[in-house]
């Protein structure tokens, strides 16, 4: 990988913060790199609190949405809460439905069937709402492009409130209210909320009009889960929401979230734990069976029922892994057998499982580091795809330039979904490759490790690590920092770990003084080069290893030279 060390030319701010906060210059440099240059800014960064959240009424159409929901409360109406079948959508439906039910409203929860109904607001849901005489549907984590569906609902006397965070078209659906900070006419200060985040702002706004205190802060564990799974920037308001949500998960976890974390028992859970342990299991329900299973886990309070549901979801996740592994192998075979050297990857098989093609696209990006699209046949003559991109390539913009071949698409910079007619596949593939080739910088295909700072092992003290942990939660926009240490050598024997001995564990030392236990996931190919070696460099995260109530600092290796 290409190692790039962050430049920091504001030495004055680094020095001042180091003195004022009594911290290492490396840590104060990290703050400056995150545009934090004063004591007060650092205090807010390290101590996020609920009062830092923006006024929800700054969001366009918020007053309209709240007024309509208050009317529903007064008239004792039933409302349909509709959400996407992924983690963000499922968490959103759980959050808003539980809150509105606490206000006495009758709620119908509706998550579409991924295979039968596909992404977005479904006609089936509108017909169901009509059959039950519901006059209002609130769509969460979807709906920003549901022009036809909203018109169809209007013909049936049903109003729509849309809570979405995906990029809107120039023209918006004719809904009663559209809450989306990415609207060009929306002055909301923070644009990067996830769908559940937008849903929470609606709850926050409704709550401000209620006479009783409903403790809306207690719903932020669901928002933190959605933030983790949707990989939105962990800056600004998202950082505050995730920080408080993690506090709730670590102090008084929702039974459903706790049950899904049991496979990874830790003293303190992080955004990464939600992303790698809870998120895939919730998604597995929607991918392999139906998202309503995951929704039930999130809203249920009966421990016995939760345990049964969690076991079923665990089985579905295991099946998902097997299917995903098989399809990934087939997709890699297609790429490797192609005689063309392309800047993009587009693969297709009619029999691939629609529920896992997004994960397969991510696996292809991991392996080849090229924008990747994986198609399957969702119905006769209609192909559905999941697309994933790489740093520096705006996938949404590229797909926008391929609209002539696409029936429908939506998403954002790094991830999208689309449908096309089968006969358009080859034309789309060529056009997509042409657009990518025109705009892409060839150097972009070299994976880059952005290093926070060089550091000597003896500078990694307990105090340093304690303050470093306060930079959490880590994620996009506030990534877990990478450090570079040079002139290293191995101390003692390196060990292979894992079922297939795919990981390694070893001790690194510097100047024969300080040494740290280190682990390299998927480093087995480097194993033979590591024993009794010296004078090499390593890039790593500084992590914590918990074993039998003992905690110790551990280096998580990313690359070696």
For the chain, how many structural domains are there in total? 3
Q: Nearest-CA neighbor of 88 among 232, 284, 230?
A: 230
Report yes or no on 219 lying in a domain: no
Q: Give the residue from 197, 214, 231 where a domain finishes.
A: 214
What is the greatest pairwise CA distance in the chain? 77
Q: Indicate whether 61 and 191 sit together in one domain.
A: yes
Mean pLDDT for the stretch of residues 395-415: 90
Q: Indicate whether 63 and 206 sit together in one domain.
A: yes
Report yes or no on 326 lying in a domain: no
What is the pLDDT at residue 247? 96
Q: Indicate whether 87 and 200 sit together in one domain.
A: yes
Report yes or no on 24 lying in a domain: no
What is the pLDDT at residue 545? 85
The CATH code of the domain that includes 422 is: 3.10.310.30
Q: Give the residue from 199, 214, 229 where a domain finishes.
A: 214
What is the pLDDT at residue 214? 66
Domain that holds residue 546: 452-560
Q: CA-to-CA distance for 10 and 503, rounded, in angstroms?
A: 39
pTM of the model: 0.88
Mean pLDDT for the stretch of residues 130-159: 95
- Checking if the pLDDT of 443 tops 60, the result is no
Q: Nearest-CA neighbor of 18 among 10, 454, 7?
A: 10
Confirm if 137 and 115 have CB atoms less than 8 A apart: no
Report yes or no on 407 lying in a domain: yes
- Checking if the pLDDT of 226 tops 70, the result is yes
Q: Give the residue from 445, 466, 500 where a domain finishes.
A: 445
Report yes or no on 145 lying in a domain: yes
Instruction: Give the three-class secondary structure for 373.
Output: strand
pLDDT tens digits for 153-165?
999 999 999 999 9
Q: Indicate whether 481 and 432 sit together in one domain.
A: no
- Checking if the pLDDT of 389 tops 80, the result is yes
Mean pLDDT for the stretch of residues 395-409: 92
What is the pLDDT at residue 24? 95
Confirm if 405 and 382 have CB atoms less than 8 A apart: no
Q: Indicate whether 367 and 418 sit together in one domain.
A: yes
Confirm if 188 and 198 have CB atoms less than 8 A apart: no
Q: Indicate whether 371 and 514 sit together in one domain.
A: no
Q: Nearest-CA neighbor of 475 among 216, 150, 234?
A: 234
Q: Indicate whether 60 and 194 sit together in one domain.
A: yes
Mean pLDDT for the stretch of residues 510-517: 88
Report yes or no on 441 lying in a domain: yes
Q: CA-to-CA distance for 463 and 489, rounded, in angstroms?
A: 25
Band of the pLDDT at 2, cuts 50, 70, 90?
confident
What is the pLDDT at residue 5? 93
Q: Indicate whether 436 and 465 sit together in one domain.
A: no
Confirm if 223 and 208 have CB atoms less than 8 A apart: no
The CATH code of the domain that includes 158 is: 3.90.1640.30
Average pLDDT over the chain, rounded to an integer: 91
Q: Indicate whether 77 and 184 sit together in one domain.
A: yes
Q: What percent of the chain is modeled with pLDDT above 90?
A: 75
Band of the pLDDT at 465, cuts 50, 70, 90?
very high
Q: Indicate whether 203 and 110 sit together in one domain.
A: yes
Alpha helices by DSSP H, listed for 252-380, are: 255-261, 271-273, 279-288, 292-299, 303-337, 357-368
179 phi, psi to nearest 5 deg: -100, 110
Question: In this structure, what token pair is assigned to residue 418?
Answer: 């689309």
Confirm if 74 and 95 have CB atoms less than 8 A apart: no
468, containing H or E segment? helix 462-469
Alpha helices by DSSP H, listed for 22-172, are: 25-33, 39-46, 62-75, 87-102, 123-131, 147-155
Most confident residue range from 1-5, 45-49, 476-480: 45-49
Q: Indicate whether 404 and 534 sit together in one domain.
A: no
Q: Indicate whether 345 and 366 sit together in one domain.
A: yes
* Strand runs labelled E in 430-482: 448-451, 453-454
Mean pLDDT for the stretch of residues 14-19: 95
The CATH code of the domain that includes 515 is: 2.40.50.460
What is the pLDDT at residue 534? 78
């Amino acid at each position: 990988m290409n190692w790039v060390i962050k430049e920091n030319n504001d030495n004055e701010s680094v020095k001042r913060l180091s003195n004022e906060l009594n911290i290492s210059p490396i840590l104060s440099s990290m703050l400056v790199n995150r545009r934090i240059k004063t004591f007060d800014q650092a205090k807010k960064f390290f101590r996020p609190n609920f009062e830092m959240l923006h006024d929800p009424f700054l969001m366009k159409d918020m007053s309209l949405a709240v007024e309509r929901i208050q009317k529903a409360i007064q008239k004792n109406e039933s409302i349909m809460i509709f959400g996407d079948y992924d983690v963000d959508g499922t968490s959103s439906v759980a959050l808003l439905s539980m809150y509105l039910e606490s206000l006495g409203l009758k709620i119908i929860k509706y998550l579409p069937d991924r295979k039968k109904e596909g992404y977005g607001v479904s006609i089936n849901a509108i017909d169901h709402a009509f059959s039950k005489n519901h006059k209002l549907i609130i769509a969460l984590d979807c709906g920003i492009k549901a022009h036809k569906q909203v018109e169809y609902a209007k013909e049936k006397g049903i109003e729509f409130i849309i809570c979405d965070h995906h990029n809107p078209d120039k023209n918006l659906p004719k809904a009663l209210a559209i809450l989306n900070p990415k609207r060009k006419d929306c002055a909301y200060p923070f644009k990067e909320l996830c769908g559940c985040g937008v849903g929470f702002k609606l709850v926050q706004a409704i709550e401000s009009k209620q006479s009783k205190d409903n403790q809306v802060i207690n719903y932020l564990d669901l928002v933190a889960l959605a933030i983790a799974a949707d990989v939105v920037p962990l800056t600004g308001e998202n950082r505050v929401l995730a920080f408080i949500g993690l506090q709730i998960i670590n102090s008084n976890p929702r039974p459903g979230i706790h049950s899904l974390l049991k496979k990874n028992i830790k003293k303190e859970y992080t955004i990464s734990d939600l992303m790698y342990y809870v998120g895939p299991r919730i998604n597995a329900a929607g991918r392999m069976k139906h998202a309503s299973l995951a929704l039930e886990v999130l809203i249920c309070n009966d421990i016995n029922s939760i345990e049964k549901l969690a076991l079923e979801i665990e089985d579905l996740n295991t099946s998902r892994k097997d299917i995903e592994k098989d399809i990934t192998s087939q997709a890699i075979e297609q790429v490797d057998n192609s005689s063309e050297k392309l800047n993009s990857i587009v693969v297709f098989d009619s029999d691939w499982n629609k529920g896992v093609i997004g994960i397969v696209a991510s696996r292809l990006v991991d392996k080849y580091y090229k924008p990747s699209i994986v198609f399957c046949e969702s119905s006769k003559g209609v192909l559905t795809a999941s697309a994933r991109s790489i740093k520096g390539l705006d996938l949404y913009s590229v797909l926008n330039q391929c609209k002539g071949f696409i029936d429908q698409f939506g998403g954002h910079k790094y991830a999208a979904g689309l449908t096309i007619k089968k006969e358009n596949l080859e034309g789309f593939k060529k056009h997509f490759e042409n657009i990518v080739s025109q705009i892409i910088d060839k150097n972009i295909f070299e994976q880059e490790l952005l290093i926070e700072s060089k550091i000597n092992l003896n500078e990694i003290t307990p105090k340093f690590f304690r303050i470093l942990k306060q930079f959490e939660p880590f994620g996009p926009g506030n990534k877990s920092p990478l450090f570079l240490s040079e002139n290293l050598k191995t101390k003692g024997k390196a060990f292979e770990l894992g079922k297939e001995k795919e990981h390694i564990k070893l001790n690194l030392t510097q100047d024969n003084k300080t040494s740290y236990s280190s682990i390299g996931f998927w480093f087995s190919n480097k194993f033979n080069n590591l024993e009794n070696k010296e004078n090499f460099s390593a890039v790593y995260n500084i992590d914590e290893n918990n074993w039998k109530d003992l905690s110790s600092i551990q280096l998580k290796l990313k690359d070696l030279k």
